[in-house]
Amino acid sequence: MNEAAFDACVDAHADEFLAQLIELCRVPSVAAEGGPAMARAAGLVSSLCRWAGVSADLVPTDGGPPIVLGQAGDGPRRLLIYNHYDVQPPDPLSEWLSPPFEPTVRDGILYARGVADNKGNLVARLAAARAYQETHGRLPLRLTFVLEGEEEVGSPHLDGFARAHADLLRAQEGCIWEAGYKDEDERPAASLGLKGILAVELHARTADVDAHSAAGGLYPNAIWRLTEALSTLRAADGTVLIDGLLDHVRPPTAAQMAMLERLPYDAAAVQRRMGIRGFLGGLTGVPALRRLMFEPTVTINGILGGYTGPGSKTVIPSRAMAKLDIRLVPDLTPELALQLLRDHLARRGFDDVTVIPAEGGLMPARTDPSAPIVGVVLAVLEEVYGVAPNVYPSMAGSGPMYQLCQAYGIPAISIGVGWAHSHTHAPNESVRVADFIAGIKVMGRVYGRFADQVI
Amino acid sequence: MNEAAFDACVDAHADEFLAQLIELCRVPSVAAEGGPAMARAAGLVSSLCRWAGVSADLVPTDGGPPIVLGQAGDGPRRLLIYNHYDVQPPDPLSEWLSPPFEPTVRDGILYARGVADNKGNLVARLAAARAYQETHGRLPLRLTFVLEGEEEVGSPHLDGFARAHADLLRAQEGCIWEAGYKDEDERPAASLGLKGILAVELHARTADVDAHSAAGGLYPNAIWRLTEALSTLRAADGTVLIDGLLDHVRPPTAAQMAMLERLPYDAAAVQRRMGIRGFLGGLTGVPALRRLMFEPTVTINGILGGYTGPGSKTVIPSRAMAKLDIRLVPDLTPELALQLLRDHLARRGFDDVTVIPAEGGLMPARTDPSAPIVGVVLAVLEEVYGVAPNVYPSMAGSGPMYQLCQAYGIPAISIGVGWAHSHTHAPNESVRVADFIAGIKVMGRVYGRFADQVI
């Protein structure tokens, strides 16, 4: 491929590419809320595919938004691209400096819900296909785009999609996974795995009706019960206390520990940026990275019970609820973690606390670092950015990599256009415009190099 | 007094008295919410006073609803009546069988928010003054009504009112306190004290922004922190664990323990009625009564943090909040309990958890059982109901008895028109219409007998 010509084409169309991203970010495609915005986003993604010279099929799901299946190019090699067009809920709204669905550029940074996770990457990869075809007339490999709308709610329909397209998936030779973020040291990051996840609600019910708190010394209280149950699940230092869960954790190999040793991690910088005083258990350096990538976690995402309005209400609440996510590493599965959680609570007499799993638990996944697509991507990253990338044996986050890739033998590597301050899942999510443009140049080279590579 | 004539007058006007109660219960005078309903309720209470032949002054408070000061009658004896026209918030609304501010009679039971706590008693005592004057032409003692609108938010202005009316209060020889409820055995109850109360909010703040829960193993989480702090405050059996708090608890005397031994308490019936499986710590009988009356409690009234909407949000919340009340017995004061709570949390490193006290902490109060008003009331109750009343050395609830009575040497006894299923502070609050009418007959006799009694 003529990389200089490709880069010139990208630079010439930079404003147009940014405009496409902004248009997509205007759609409030919050998967947890659903509604007409999901179909609107899917339609817009289809249009973007066609704009990029990629055929687009809307594959319906049973009750969810459609999966956009895009195909383009020709040649002996096959590369899968996975992204999602849904986003996290934007609240707390009051902390956004500009509205989450009114994309705004300030000082070269584009702010919008979903711009880093995951619309910036989705548009960059399509824009690279368009620029490649504009520069060279044709794509020299067969690209398959799987662009779903339920990643942020656990991808409940992706597994069914994958089973229905098993032959197509088995033919893929590599996958570019959804997202990546430059580290604090400004090096691009590439990740070779994901944690799994189990999301649950715990519901405590201790009486038929709320009662006057004068009886607070005698009557059970749903919030106290929920608090007591929660306090058995995790130590204050972050260690998971669910009976037996840690027995299923595969320890990192020596090679993986060596990868951790090479990674930069400025814990103090992260803490300053987030406004936090220290990490759980006082972890820093390699132990902090090990926890992020090789240890399960239990996080309370939300809690609600009783009277929370203005003033006081002296009541004993009969019901309370908490939302939790449990991040999983090999060899934990969502089913196993759910059973261990239920057994743990039952063993302690918490039969007044009901565990309700959310749909879409995810398996953990890991990619072999010697896979050809890994070598191509790492070389391209070093060339475009002028520095060696940081290679993570896993991300700390979760995604359906197992369902779409590992189950079909596809090695997957995750890269993207985010930066260290992208604030994913939080107010003021952002990408830098320059990173978005550089990400298009990375993807064009990946298409060209992977097509040429002899396996 | 001619008690037969008085009773006939009450029976003849029963429908009118009930209609007055229903009209007052239509006003949503939720003190925690404030708003124009509070002034409307105060105005209606003034009208009720005049209807009852009681002069009424609206005594303004600094930022709160006015206190209605009612005066009637003449004679050497002086009796104070304390009630309140404010009510608890009605939520959860979905559990009401009829709307909380649309009073509804079903099967002889009147359902409305505030009908038991405390509007039924307020109206019964005024109705008794009206019927007494209609029957006998005049009231034979000097009645002073103090009818406030902030009892459910801790009576923040009653102390100032009391100080401003100290001479009037010092002249009082007894007080009929706000409320009472028949027990499960259908005997009327009379109470000789109240617990104090301290209401607080705990606010946890662990970061400047919410974060992606992928970092849940490292970043502090406001809900986890709040949960951890709460779990240090109380044992699962209900024992308060706040450092040093129990050191200030005055144990019951032998006489008080004897009163407990005489009280009926069908724990199983209470549990069936509330739909609960057992009391904290497995308490029943005298140990349960002792906890209700002689031990402090810590109750979580409400909790809120993070994402509580539909679906999942994989977020680490940076803020969380809980509302608690701490019930106090002699010799605990709200100020002391607040200091002990703050010291307890600070000692455990919870300096990311802020304790914000609500206005209107209340002192505990106890009445000497040998006071003349106690003897009059107990005799009247036995006569009207045909059974000896159950006498409680204290109620489990709280109220400003210390501020209004004990501080001025006034012995106070609490009785009222509630029943065992009144569901105060909960959905479907109620009184039986027959109990309301009987309560008017009780009060007429109390007025007559206390006027005649030689002290």
B393 lies in a domain?
yes
**Nearest residue to A283 (alpha-carbon basis) of A270, A274, A273:** A270
Cβ–Cβ under 8 Å, residues A153 and A31: yes
**Nearest residue to A425 (alpha-carbon basis) of A341, A302, A257, A254:** A302
Query: Which residue's entry shows tokens 């989450």?
Result: A100
A284 lies in a domain?
no
Q: Is B95's Cβ below 8 Å from some Cβ in A?
A: yes
| Residue A167: predicted pLDDT | 97
- Indicate if B227 and B116 belong to the same structural domain: no
CA-based R_g, chain A, Å: 23
Which residues of A are less than 8 Å from B425 in CB distance?
Answer: 210-213, 313-315
Test the B interface: residue of A95, A313, A329 with most B CBs within 10 Å: A313
**Residue in A closest to B361 by C-alpha:** A312
Band of pLDDT at residue B455, cut at 50, 70 and 90: low
- Indicate if B126 and B218 belong to the same structural domain: no
- Indicate if B122 and B151 belong to the same structural domain: yes
Which of B334, B357, B380 lies at the terminal end of a domain, its last residue? Answer: B357
Tokens of B324: 């608690």
Q: What is the pLDDT of residues B242-300, one digit of tens each?
A: 999 999 999 999 989 999 999 988 899 889 989 999 999 999 999 999 999 999 999 99
B5/A25 Cα distance (integer angstroms): 80
Q: Is A95's Cβ below 8 Å from some Cβ in B?
A: yes
| Residue A361: predicted pLDDT | 86
Contact at CB, A323 and B304, closer than 8 angstroms: no
A409/A393 Cα distance (integer angstroms): 17
- Indicate if B239 and B178 belong to the same structural domain: no
Contact at CB, A309 and B221, closer than 8 angstroms: no
A270 lies in a domain?
no
Contact at CB, A302 and B301, closer than 8 angstroms: no
Which residues of A are less than 8 Å from B197 in CB distance?
Answer: 314
Q: What is the pLDDT of residues A126-161, one digit of tens each?
A: 999 999 999 999 999 999 999 999 998 888 899 999
Contact at CB, A154 and B312, closer than 8 angstroms: yes
- Indicate if A345 and A373 belong to the same structural domain: no
Burial (CB < 10 A; 0-12, 13-18, 19+), residue B15, is exposed
- Indicate if B396 and B309 belong to the same structural domain: no
**Nearest residue to B444 (alpha-carbon basis) of B353, B380, B372, B368:** B380
Q: Is B287's Cβ below 8 Å from some Cβ in A?
A: no
Q: Is A338 helix (H, G, I), strand (E, B) or coil?
A: helix
Which of A280, A352, A425 minimises the CB distance to B218? A280
B285/B295 Cα distance (integer angstroms): 15
Q: Strands B109-111 and B430-432, how do they pair?
A: antiparallel
Cβ–Cβ under 8 Å, residues A68 and A42: yes
Residue-number span of the structural domain to which A122 is assigned? 3-194+365-452
Concatenated DSSP letters for A36-105?
HHHHHHHHHHHHHHHHTT-EEEEE--SSSPPEEEEEE--SS-EEEEEEE--B-----GGG-SS-TTS-EE
Band of pLDDT at residue A359, cut at 50, 70 and 90: confident
Q: What is the pLDDT of residues B409-425, one digit of tens each?
A: 999 999 999 999 999 98
Shortest Cα–Cα distance, B421 to chain A (Å): 11
Q: Is B336's Cβ below 8 Å from some Cβ in A?
A: no
Contact at CB, A223 and B322, closer than 8 angstroms: yes
Which of B322, B357, B392 lies at the terminal end of a domain, its last residue? Answer: B357
Residue A248 has pLDDT above 90, yes or no: yes
Which residues of B are less than 8 Å from A427 in CB distance?
Answer: 209-210
Which of A199, A219, A395 minimises the CB distance to B312? A199
Which of B332, B357, B382 lies at the terminal end of a domain, its last residue? Answer: B357
The model's pTM: 0.82
Ranking A53-67, B6-20, B117-131, B355-369 by mean pLDDT, the lowest is B355-369
| Residue B454: predicted pLDDT | 64
B278 lies in a domain?
no
A67/A78 Cα distance (integer angstroms): 20
- Indicate if A178 and A230 belong to the same structural domain: no
| Residue A399: predicted pLDDT | 87
Residue B360 has pLDDT above 80, yes or no: no
Q: Is B317's Cβ below 8 Å from some Cβ in A?
A: yes
What is the rounded average pLDDT of the residues A355-384? 93
Q: Where residue B231 sits, what CATH number does that domain have?
A: 3.30.70.360
- Residue B119 DSSP class: I
Q: What is the pLDDT of residues B197-212, one digit of tens each?
A: 999 999 999 999 999 9
Which residues of A are less than 8 Å from B277 in CB distance?
Answer: 220, 352
**Residue in B closest to A281 by C-alpha:** B218
pLDDT above 90: percentage of residues in chain A = 89
- Residue A181 DSSP class: B
Residue A137: partners with Cβ closer than 8 Å, 6 or more residues away: none
Cβ–Cβ under 8 Å, residues B121 and B181: no
Cβ–Cβ under 8 Å, residues B216 and B316: yes
What is the rounded average pLDDT of the residues B320-344? 97
Contact at CB, B215 and A292, closer than 8 angstroms: yes
Contact at CB, A297 and B213, closer than 8 angstroms: yes
A290 lies in a domain?
no
Residue A29 has pLDDT above 80, yes or no: yes
Residue A454 has pLDDT above 80, yes or no: no
Band of pLDDT at residue A166, cut at 50, 70 and 90: very high
Shortest Cα–Cα distance, B324 to chain A (Å): 8
**Residue in B closest to A240 by C-alpha:** B217
Contact at CB, A223 and B154, closer than 8 angstroms: no
- Indicate if A341 and A441 belong to the same structural domain: no
Q: Is A432 helix (H, G, I), strand (E, B) or coil?
A: strand
A368/A93 Cα distance (integer angstroms): 41
User: Count of A–B CB contacts within 8 Å?
Assistant: 318
- Indicate if B75 and B146 belong to the same structural domain: yes
Tokens of A386: 């002028």
B154 lies in a domain?
yes
Q: What is the mean pLDDT of chain A?
A: 95
Contact at CB, A152 and B314, closer than 8 angstroms: yes
Task: Name the domain count of chain A.
Answer: 2
Q: Is A213's Cβ below 8 Å from some Cβ in B?
A: yes
B35 lies in a domain?
yes
- Indicate if B14 and B163 belong to the same structural domain: yes
What is the rounded average pLDDT of the residues B144-160? 93
CA angle A192, A194, A200 (to 5 degrees): 180
**Residue in A closest to B201 by C-alpha:** A312
Please measure the distance between the N-terminal and C-terminal CA atoms of chain B and give it in whole angstroms: 18
Q: Is B316's Cβ below 8 Å from some Cβ in A?
A: yes
- Indicate if A204 and A162 belong to the same structural domain: no
Which of A153, A314, A396 minimises the CB distance to B425? A314
Q: How many CB atoms lie within 10 A of CB B177?
A: 29
Stretch 357-376 of chain A: residues touching chain B, C-beta under 8 Å: 358
Contact at CB, A223 and B302, closer than 8 angstroms: yes
- Indicate if A12 and A148 belong to the same structural domain: yes
Q: Is B418's Cβ below 8 Å from some Cβ in A?
A: no
A255 lies in a domain?
no
Stretch 220-239 of chain B: residues touching chain A, C-beta under 8 Å: 220-221, 223-224, 227-228, 230-231, 234, 236, 238
Q: Is B211's Cβ below 8 Å from some Cβ in A?
A: yes
Residue A395 has pLDDT above 70, yes or no: yes
**Residue in A closest to B304 by C-alpha:** A304
A84/A149 Cα distance (integer angstroms): 5
What is the rounded average pLDDT of the residues B296-315? 95
Contact at CB, A314 and B199, closer than 8 angstroms: yes
Test the A interface: residue of B303, B394, B414 with most A CBs within 10 Å: B303
Contact at CB, B302 and A325, closer than 8 angstroms: no
Which of A32, A209, A234 minimises the CB distance to B224? A234
Which of B221, B283, B310 minimises the CB distance to A218? B283
Band of pLDDT at residue A226, cut at 50, 70 and 90: very high
- Return the half-sphere exposure (C-beta side, CA atoms, 13 A cut-off) of residue B137: 0
Shortest Cα–Cα distance, B212 to chain A (Å): 5
Q: Is A351's Cβ below 8 Å from some Cβ in B?
A: no
Q: Is A153's Cβ below 8 Å from some Cβ in B?
A: yes
Q: Where residue A152 sits, what CATH number does that domain have?
A: 3.40.630.10
Residue A455 has pLDDT above 70, yes or no: no
Q: Is A309's Cβ below 8 Å from some Cβ in B?
A: yes
